[in-house]
Amino acid sequence: MSAQPTVVAEGVSKWFGQLVAVSDVSFDVGPGVTALLGPNGAGKSTMFRMLCGLAQPSKGTVRVLGRDPRLDVGVTRAIGLVPQQETVFERLTGREFVALAARLHGLGEPEREAERALETVGLDPADPRPLPAYSKGMRQRAKVAQAIVHDPQVLVLDEPLTGLDPRQRVDLVALFRRLGEEGRCVIVSSHVLAEVERLGSRVLVMSQGRLAAAGDFHDLRALMDDRPLRVRVRTDRPRELAGALLERGAVLGLRLDGDDSLELDTADARALARALAPVARDRGARLLEVRQLDADLEGVFRYVVEQ
């Protein structure tokens, strides 16, 4: 995926007794934001734990910055982890929790850096409440603060947007994007695909413990040639337009949707685009909207995990 991969997994498998959680997964990830997607039980969190050195692959190797995160503490110092589980907190305040992380990472001014990190995620460093008294979204942001306090080169974010309100999501998505744009390797998993789409277009999709897809999701959509593209066309003459398109053989199928809308299935979006305007002109139809429906991340994700 990148000329200089920061994270490399080669033939990684992980099993627990008879249960295979991850099966022969290989990928590499460079600077920028990459989304690791998959349904529940796909092996994402297990993969994350192996990336952070928390679990040993049963087979294969994981390298972060060229080194083994399980054995090399120099690498894990460069990693920031937002774990999925919420129970990581003792009865510390947000400031104590983040300052502890800063101290463990050997920062010169841990209190000051903790304040900065908390402010960055929109939390009040002076909040005297212990973390268990925080709302779910606040706890989530505290986890993000402890993950970024030491300015890591690699950020591993397991469902970091869970429990956040829309405004907080927008803020954190912007933060993650910025961290990626600054050259850090940000790997994020989320069930909120619309937010993931805003983070960037590079994805790794896992399904049933295996890597089902890797790359830019627009490119992945283009590769899905066994599945027709669906295009919505709004026009003042949908029936005339539908007949003409079928006549020309420009669509595989179509569906009238209301009085002014058509949904077209095509194997070749470019050919359809070339045909659409002349046909509309010939039939005196005005094109009010032309929009591809399933080229978003959710469409790609559904296709990949269901195939």
Partner 1 sequence: MARADMFDPTTAAAGPATMSDSGAQLFDLGYRSYDGERHRPARAIATLATFTARRVLGMGRGARHKVLPSLALVIAFLPALLSVAFAVLTDDLLEEDLISYGEYTFFIGAALALFAALVAPEALCPDRRSGLLGLYLAGPLDRTRYVAGKAAAVYGVMLLIAVGPLLFMLLAFVLSGYGPATSEIPELLLRILASGGSTALLYASLSLAVSSFTTRRAAAAVATILLLYVPMAIARSAIESADAPTELDLVSFPFVASELSVRIFGETSEDSGPISELATAAIAGGLLTASAAALLLCWLRYRRIEAFR
Q: Which residues bind partner 1 (CB under 8 A)?
A: 49, 52-56, 71, 73-74, 76-77, 79, 81, 83, 85, 87-91, 96, 100-101, 103-109, 112-113, 115-116, 119-122, 124-125, 146, 148-151, 156, 171, 174-175, 178-179, 182
Pick 65 or 269: Cβ nearer partner 1: 65
The tokens describing 280, both together, are 């509309």
Give the nearest distance from C-beta 81 to partner 1 in angstroms. 4
Among 223, 218, 157, smallest CA distance to 191 is for 157
Give the tokens for residue 11. Answer: 């033939």
Q: Looking at the DSSP assignment, which residues form a beta bridge with residue 216?
A: 202
DSSP 172-207: HHHHHHHHHHTT-EEEEE-S-HHHHHHH-SEEEEEE
Q: Which is nearer to partner 1, 117 or 214 (CB)?
A: 117
Nearest-angstrom CA–CA distance, 76 and 73: 5
Q: Would residue 270 be called left, alpha or beta, if left means φ above 0 and alpha means ψ between -120 and 50 degrees?
A: alpha
Of 181 and 282, CB closest to partner 1: 181
Q: Given the complex with partner 1, which of 49 and 230 has the nearer CB atom?
A: 49
Tell me how far, at minimum, the Cβ of 18 lies from partner 1, in Å.
17
Query: With contact defined as beta carbons under 8 Å apart, do 160 and 192 qualify?
Result: no
**How far apart are CB 160 and partner 1 at their closest, in Å?**
14
Closest CA to 210 of 91, 31, 41, 68: 41
**Cβ nearer to partner 1, comparing 186 with 233:** 186
Could you tell me the smallest distance in angstroms from the CB atom of residue 122 to partner 1?
6
